[in-house]
């Protein structure tokens, strides 16, 4: 799941350290894709401090939610349908249709949460901006990061840009998808593919409108 979808399950949480922990696995991955954390190996140290404990609790929550989401019938069925629709468009693209289907579904869910007022982006950004920087720095160092500055530079820009609000416009999903793919492939899509993909994803998001909350209700019944 993407940022706002993870936030959905802790949208009523007032603890900013827990909230940033909930999205920290994705923030870390976006800040530097080479980083790979195993914070459970540092559990004793992470439980010694209130803020660190909250961040770690949020981290574990993220892993649990993703586990249920990626093993759900909802995820399997919709990613397969999206893959079937976009595969003919991506014949000449280096990008795997299964990867695009996975990311597209997660972006659409974030967009639908916003447009249906299930979450708001402003409280999300406000919470993570309030999170303890010393605790975050400590968390990173415990996970063998010698130079934490790239993470905080990314975090500051992430908060400043507030780009998640752009998901309210369906055509912006393709822009976000392109940006993600460009981290892995130099030229993921040509202009024709972008136009064709945009049309497919807008239609799919419209159709998803009727039952997208089912997956949130299913996971909520498990994790809460």
pLDDT digits (tens, 9 = 90+) for 15-57: 999 999 999 999 999 999 889 899 999 999 999 899 999 999 9
The pair of three-digit structure tokens given for residue 188, joined into one six-digit string: 């993921």
Residue 215 has pLDDT above 90, yes or no: yes
The pair of three-digit structure tokens given for residue 103, joined into one six-digit string: 């990311």
pTM of the model: 0.94
CA distances from 58 to 25, 189, 202, 222, 224 (A): 10, 35, 32, 16, 13
Read off the pLDDT of residues 4-17 as tens digits, 9 standing for 90 and up: 999 999 999 999 99
Among 66, 111, 102, 65, which residue's Cα sits nearest to residue 81? 102
CB 34 within 8 A of CB 75: no
The pair of three-digit structure tokens given for residue 78, joined into one six-digit string: 């919709």
Residue in the structure block whose two tokens are 């402003």: 122
Read off the pLDDT of residues 124-162 as tens digits, 9 standing for 90 and up: 999 999 999 999 999 999 999 999 999 999 999 999 999
| Distance from C-alpha of 163 to C-alpha of 160, rounded to nearest angstrom | 8
Mean pLDDT of the region 156-170: 92
Residue 224 has pLDDT above 90, yes or no: no
End-to-end CA distance of the chain: 17
Three-state SS for 80?
helix
Residue 171 has pLDDT above 90, yes or no: no
CB 128 within 8 A of CB 20: yes
51-55, long-range: CB < 8 A, 24+ apart? 51/17, 51/132, 51/134, 51/135, 52/17, 52/135, 52/138, 52/139, 52/142, 54/15, 54/17, 54/18, 54/21, 54/135, 55/17, 55/18, 55/20, 55/21, 55/24, 55/131, 55/135, 55/136, 55/139
Read off the pLDDT of residues 60-83 as tens digits, 9 standing for 90 and up: 999 999 999 999 999 999 999 999
The pair of three-digit structure tokens given for residue 210, joined into one six-digit string: 């009727």
């Amino acid at each position: 799941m993407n940022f706002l979808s993870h936030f959905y399950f802790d949208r009523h949480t007032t603890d900013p350290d827990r909230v940033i922990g909930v999205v920290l696995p994705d923030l870390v991955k976006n800040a530097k894709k080479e980083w790979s954390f195993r914070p459970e190996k540092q559990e004793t140290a992470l439980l010694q401090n209130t803020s660190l404990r909250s961040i770690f609790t949020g981290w574990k929550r993220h892993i649990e939610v993703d586990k249920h989401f990626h093993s759900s019938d909802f995820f399997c069925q919709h990613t397969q349908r999206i893959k079937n629709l976009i595969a003919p468009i991506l014949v000449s693209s280096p990008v795997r249709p299964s990867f695009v289907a996975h990311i597209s579904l997660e972006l659409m869910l974030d967009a639908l949460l916003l447009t249906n007022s299930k979450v708001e982006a402003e409280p999300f950004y406000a919470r993570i901006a309030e999170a303890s920087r010393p605790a975050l720095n400590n968390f990173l160092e415990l996970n063998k990061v010698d130079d934490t500055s790239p993470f905080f530079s990314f975090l500051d820009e992430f908060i400043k840009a507030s780009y998640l609000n752009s998901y309210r416009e369906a055509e912006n999903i393709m822009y976000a998808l392109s940006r993600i793919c460009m981290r892995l492939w130099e030229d993921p899509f040509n202009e024709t593919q972008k136009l064709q993909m945009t049309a497919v994803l807008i239609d799919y998001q419209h159709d998803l409108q009727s039952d997208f909350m089912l997956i949130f209700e299913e996971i909520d019944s498990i994790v809460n």
